[in-house]
Structure 1
Amino acid sequence: MITHENIEIIHRFFQVDKTSFEEMLSALLQKYNAVYTPVRMVIFGAPADNEEYAMRFAIIRRTVKEQFGANSPFVSYVAQPPQTMGLTMEVHEVVLTVQDRIAYRSRADVEYITIEREGCKRLFMSGVTGDIFHQTIREQSHEVFSKIADVLETEKLPVSSIIRQWNYIEKITDYDATGHQHYQDFNDARSLFYQGSEWTTGYPAATGIGTHWGGIMVDLDALRCEDRSVQVCGVDNPLQVAAHAYSQKVLLGEEDKVLLHKTTPKFERAKAVWKEDHGFVYISGTAAIRGEQSLEGVGIERQTLATLENIEYLVSHENLNRSGIPATKDATLITFRVYVKRWEDMDAAKKVVTERYSNLPAIYTLTDVCRSELLIEIEGMGILF
């Protein structure tokens, strides 16, 4: 039986139909009643350009702060049109115990939340952005990681304590005038940020996904635990080459002048957190890739099925056990985010997912994914027993 006490972090979805932005935002926030402690709100919408994106993001931040006051969750605004063409919101809530101490903090212009108990510290950071009006994607990436590094250092958390990262990259597969691809520029900046840390439990679970606007934005969860009953473990997938082990032939754009080569995406296929007899697993953005090659020319239905098959094997108890997690059964999937590249594929993708998971809460958005030939990407969460 799944209980919230077993989950510890809960993702809840809300959406409203299209009307004016202010009306949609008001209606969306009215739908939400906190069950546990909200730490992050991620709102998906369709601004027309970066000027409108920045204006709306400021409105969202101000409105959420007015509604929640000093104990406000922090927000992200993702320029991905939801399937409804209105606004969609994902709220992350944490189940606090009597031992937990929560603090709402800021460092420079970055706001974040820490939760501490004896032997463990968690950190939630949202909406960390660069300067979308004056910086290149590469410059924004370095600025964002510099801000994150400053917060982690302040909180005495190593970079390797990051267990889940969401990386939003404007026009992810585009190239700049010098031949540098946006996603590759981001990956090079991430590699520089990660180097020097000891990733003994594997890299974070992560999603690197396109947005229509907004430059670079990163959300992340971090966890440091001295409690030996808590196990944190990266989860590989034998059906896919680990992303951080990709060969140079699948990496695009010009090489980095400092690193002298194109660096790989530094993430694990999943990251599991296990305590005594239960836990949860963050499932990274997953696509129709076998080995390190995309399934090309097979259509949206086959790509969607292949993506789901990759996820299902990834979180099977056989694979979890191989990764060192003593789960006794396959993970129970509890949420999906489904990113679809083309409007004309949206209904077909949703049909495949819902036929397989009819009761699974999911949101669907329109956006580009990290390879031009991929039509869909899916991320999610699962519960472990």
Structure 2
Amino acid sequence: MGIQIEYLSLAELKSQPLAWQNKVLGLVSFVDAAGVYEAQKINGQIPGIFLGASVLSGAESASEILLSDESSMDTKQPLISGEQGQIRYRCNGDLLFGVISLDEASELIITSPGNPFSALQQATEIAYQQIFTLLDDLGFPNVYRFWNYMANINGSDGDDQQNLERYRQFNIGRKNVFVKMGREHGQQLPAACALGLKGGPLTIAFLAGKAPAIAIENPRQVKAYNYPEQYGPRTPSFSRATLVHIEQKACLFISGTASIVGHETLHAEDITGQTQETLVNLEAVVSEANRVQGGAVFDLSNACFRVYVRHAADLDSIRETMRNHFSHQVQAVFVQADICREELLIEIEATLQQTSIAHAA
């Protein structure tokens, strides 16, 4: 079975008929305080994360929905919903989408004074170990995409020996499990993002499948897993994008992308410069994916973007810079969130699809 991706408002999501809901693998949605209550009316069989964050613009695209596309199949195969540990998931014969939320005050976390490992590192290790155990148990060996959200990403708790920034604590936990579970394949790491919200548990969504994937890197950037030690004792475990063929479609899952060249942040305190550099990096990733694919398969100008904005006051500048870059209004949702480096003001992610592999040059 293939995959179809749609972007809807929360109201549109709630109003979809049951036949449509029965095709949903999972979703990632941003909602305000009132939206959290409304989200409870969504079909409970659908694994989804509803993240409390201010949607600054583009509320009509605030929910990214991944659906099982049965158009190429002679017979329809129903989705199977399940739970394992703290994970809720849905899968068909080819794809699995799952979500897990783990509070750092959970009884699973050891908070004794002598424990050198922070609550966030422990929560990360527990969550990722559960994820990879599930995928091994159900036979979905390839992860295409992770979405990671946590509170106070640039802060430090003061409860571990090194008083590390929380994003670095997260990276330690994630890397430890990748290595332990035999997932640290270097050249074949999945796409990912990691963003900071005002509060809430560590929340992770993931998409995995049986078809192999190709990790895509940005020629303008050092691979994240090769970052120097100045960015923390454990490097981030992700690639810049993942290219995968699912049935008759090529899909490109682009990681959260920011104003980084080599491994250094550029245009500090300059939102226009950071936005422009981020768009250049996105174009570089798409160009590399098209090179690997062997033709102009993906076109960034047709993408729906999720734009994470540190300061709401920067919204107008970001939107104008994006309009100038693409020469037209783009589809995007702008969400207020903190980025993994304190000096970064913006991060953009996207998912691109090709209509048919047969159209590739």
TM-score normalised by length of structure 1: 0.77
Q: 1:355 to 1:98 in 2, by over 3 A?
A: farther
The 1:63–1:30 alpha-carbon spacing in structure 2 relative to 1, beyond 3 Å, is closer
- Cα separation, partners in 2 of 1:263 and 1:77, compared to 1, 3 Å: same
* 2:74 paired with 1:98: yes
CA distance in 2, matches of 1:240, 1:129: 31
Provide closer, same or farther for how the CA distance between residues 130 and 277 of structure 1 changes in structure 2, counting only shifts above 3 A.
closer
2-structure distance, mates of 1:79, 1:378: 18
Q: Partners in 2 of 1:291 and 1:192 — Cα distance?
A: 25
User: Is 1:375 paired with 2:345?
Assistant: yes
Question: Which residue of 2 is the match for residue 78 of structure 1?
Answer: 51
**Shift of residue 370, structure 1, vs aligned partner:** 0.4
* Residues 24-35 of structure 1 aligned to structure 2 (within 5 Å): 27=11, 29-32=13-16, 34=20
**Residue type of the partner of 1:139?**
Q
1:186 and 1:167 map into 2 onto residues whose CA distance is 10
Indicate yes or no: 2:319 matched with 1:356. Answer: no
Letter in 2 for 1:131: D
Q: Residues of 1 paired with 2:24 and 2:247: CA distance?
A: 25
Tell me the C-alpha RMSD between the 2 structures: 2.8
Asked if the contact 1:41/1:74 (under 8 Å) is kept, the reply is yes
> For residue 146 of structure 2, what is the aligned residue in structure 1?
165
- Residue 14 of structure 2 corresponds to residue 14 of structure 1: no
- Say whether residues 1:115 and 2:65 are aligned partners: no
SS in 1 for 2:90: strand
Structure-to-structure mapping, 1:1-385, within 5 angstroms: 8-14=3-9, 27=11, 29-32=13-16, 34=20, 37-47=23-33, 59=37, 62-65=40-43, 72-83=45-56, 88-96=62-70, 97-98=73-74, 101=77, 102-116=79-93, 121-126=94-99, 128-134=100-106, 135=109, 136-158=119-141, 161-177=142-158, 178=160, 179-195=163-179, 196-197=182-183, 199=185, 202-225=188-211, 232-251=213-232, 262-274=233-245, 278-297=249-268, 299-316=270-287, 319-320=288-289, 322=291, 324-332=292-300, 333-357=302-326, 358-384=328-354, 385=360
Shift of 1:74: 1.5
How far apart are 1:270 and its partner, in Å?
0.6
State the Cα distance separating 1:223 from its structure 2 match.
Answer: 1.3
Displacement of 1:9 in angstroms is 2.5
Residues 58 and 332 in structure 2, CA contact (< 8 A), matched pair in contact too: no
- Give how far 1:305 is off: 0.9
Matched with 2:116 is none
Residue of structure 2 in register with 1:21 after alignment = none
Mapped to 1, the partners of 2:48 and 2:57 lie a distance apart of: 21
Give distance in 1, aligned partners of 2:48 and 2:264: 35
- Which deviates more from structure 2 when the two are superposed, residues 196-205 or residues 140-149? 196-205
CA distance change for structure 1 residues 35 and 334 in 2, over 3 Å: closer, same or farther? Answer: farther
Deviations 1:101-132 (A, max 9, x none): 3211222342211111xxxx311112x01124
Query: Which stretch of structure 1 is more off in the superposition, 272-281 or 88-97?
Result: 272-281
Q: 1:276 to 1:30 in 2, by over 3 A?
A: closer
Structure 2 distance, partners of 1:370, 1:180, is: 13
Provide structure 1 residue ranges, at least 5 long, that are not aligned to the other structure.
Answer: 16-26, 67-71, 226-230, 252-261
Matches of 2:243 and 2:210, distance apart in 1: 13
Between the aligned partners of 2:341 and 2:184, the Cα distance in structure 1 is: 29
Equivalent AA in structure 2 for residue 343 of structure 1: A
CA gap 1:299/1:31 in 2 versus in 1, 3 angstroms: farther
Three-state SS of the structure 1 residue aligned to 2:188 is: coil
User: TM-score when scaled to structure 2?
Assistant: 0.82
For 1:299 and 1:345, the matched residues in 2 are separated by 10
Deviation at 1:98, TM superposition (A): 3.4
SS at match of 1:63: coil
**Gapped runs of 5+ residues in structure 2?**
110-118, 355-359
Number of the residue aligned with 1:259: none
Deviation at 1:359, TM superposition (A): 4.6
Whole-angstrom distance in 2 between the partners of 1:85 and 1:232: 31
How many residue pairs get aligned? The number is: 331
The residue type equivalent to 1:129 in the other structure is S
Instruction: State the distance in 1 between where 2:186 and 2:225 align.
Output: 14
Q: d(CA) in 2 for partners of 1:60 and 1:142?
A: 31
Contact map agreement 1:172 1:369 (CA 8 A) in 2: yes
